[in-house]
Structure formats: C-alpha cells, structure tokens
C-alpha cells in the first residue's frame, strides 16, 4: 500500500478526537507499509473555495474536465483517484455532515467525471477501495442512549456509493461532550471495533 488520503472535517485541529483516532489508524498502517504516503486534506485548516457560478453552469453542460473552471475540483478528484485507502474524520454537525465536508462533496461528486446518470440512476466511476469514516458526536445517535437522528451516515454512504466506493466502514465516537471518561470509553470502543479489520489489528493493544 502506497497512498492514503485523510480528509479531516473537524475544525478543532489537534484537539479533535476523531482526527487523533485517524492519526492512530495511519500509524497502524505505516507499521506494515513504511513507504505509505499520506495526503492530508484538512477542510478546516485550509477551507476549500466556494462553488462558483461558472462551476454551476459547467455542470449543466458537457464541459471538458480540463476546462479551468474545474481546476480546483480536478485536484480533489485526483487525490481521491490516487489513494488506495480513504479515511474521513468528521464530526456530526446538526445531525449531518459539517458544511466543509459538504463543500468537498460538491467539488468531487461531479457528473460526467466521477459519476454518470443513466436510465437506472447514478453510477460511480471511481474504482472501489476501502473507506473508513470516523464520526464523532457530542451526544448519542445509536442504541438505547440515542436522542437524535443520524442523517450523516446514510447520506455519506450514499455519496460514497455514487462515487463508486462501496467498501465503506463507519466507526463511531459518541458522547464526546459528556466528560473525559466518556471520551476514553468511546475511543477504546472504536479501537476495538477497528482492530477487527486486518489493517488495524494493532489498535487492540491499549495506546
């Protein structure tokens, strides 16, 4: 394995619990693949340009991919195409993806480039590869303690599927706003879940 893309959507930098777990996952892969190159696309530290009127118009026409209007989108799509594993670390913001991640989606999920629309619906053009999505939330959205819906997971799964990415694994860090004990419990549980995947077996050992 040579290339990994890490998308971060938390604006909390090194304080982000999700980004910290993602870094542990990267270290884990590096133990077996020392040559691993990691591209960090930090959507909070380096915000993407907003979508332009030209981009919106170009999407409704058969605009060639090399048109300057797609320059920024092409950079992001190339990062996706190049990676063999995709990690996405994202908080839940108001039951769904943060605006920064939604903007990334609008730059990469592009008709005639990363998907086509056929008679039976939209079909992804990217080759499949493993995707791990770390979702951090202040409260709970699963199980008996759930007090809110989760629109993030089904939405992001659908988006990734429309790109052609079906091998998607969600890992949840819930209840992070409660206290330090809850953070520890959530990260320990997430490490255990991840350790069930061969790439992250080493995460079973306490950090």
Ligand X SMILES: Cc1cc2nc3c(=O)[nH]c(=O)nc-3n(C[C@H](O)[C@H](O)[C@H](O)COP(=O)(O)O)c2cc1C
Name the nearest CA neighbour of 36 among 81, 1, 86: 1
Question: Measured from the CB of residue 179, what is the shortest distance to ligand X in angstroms?
Answer: 13
**Residue 10 known to bind ligand:** yes
194-198, long-range: CB < 8 A, 24+ apart: 194/25, 194/132, 197/132, 197/169
Question: Measured from the CB of residue 82, what is the shortest distance to ligand X in angstroms?
Answer: 25
Question: Measured from the CB of residue 201, what is the shortest distance to ligand X in angstroms?
Answer: 23
Query: Judged by CB, which is closer to ligand X: 31, or 148?
Result: 148
Q: Is 8 in the site for ligand X (CB under 6 A)?
A: no
Q: Is 16 in the site for ligand X (CB under 6 A)?
A: yes
CB atoms within 10 A of CB 174: 24
Query: Judged by CB, which is closer to ligand X: 138, or 164?
Result: 138
Direct distance between the N- and C-terminal alpha carbons of the chain, in angstroms, rounded to an integer: 24
Query: Judged by CB, which is closer to ligand X: 114, or 136?
Result: 136
Question: Residues 156, 157, 158, 163: is their CA dihedral positive or negative?
Answer: positive
Q: Is 93 in the site for ligand X (CB under 6 A)?
A: yes
**Residue 196 known to bind ligand:** no
Helix (H) or strand (E) holding 136: strand 131-136
Residues that bind ligand X (CB under 6 A): 10, 12, 16-19, 91-95, 136-139, 148, 176-177
């Amino acid at each position: 394995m040579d290339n990994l893309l890490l998308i971060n959507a938390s604006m909390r930098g090194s304080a982000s619990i999700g980004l910290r777990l993602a870094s542990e996952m990267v270290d884990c892969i590096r133990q077996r693949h020392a040559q691993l190159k990691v591209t960090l696309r930090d959507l909070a530290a380096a915000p993407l340009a907003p979508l332009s009127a030209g981009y919106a118009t170009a999407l409704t026409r058969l605009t060639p991919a090399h048109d300057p209007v797609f320059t920024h989108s092409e950079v992001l799509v190339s990062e996706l195409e190049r990676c063999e594993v995709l990690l996405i670390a994202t908080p839940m913001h108001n039951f769904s993806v943060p605006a920064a991640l939604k903007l990334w989606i609008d730059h990469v999920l592009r008709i005639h480039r990363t998907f086509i629309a056929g008679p039976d619906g939209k079909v992804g053009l990217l080759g499949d590869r493993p995707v791990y999505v770390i979702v951090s939330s202040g409260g709970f959205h699963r199980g008996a303690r759930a007090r809110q819906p989760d629109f993030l997971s089904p939405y992001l799964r659908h988006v990734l599927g429309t790109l052609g990415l079906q091998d998607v694994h969600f890992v949840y860090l819930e209840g992070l706003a409660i206290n330090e004990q809850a953070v520890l419990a959530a990260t320990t549980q997430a490490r255990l879940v991840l350790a069930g995947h061969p790439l992250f077996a080493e995460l079973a050992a306490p950090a």
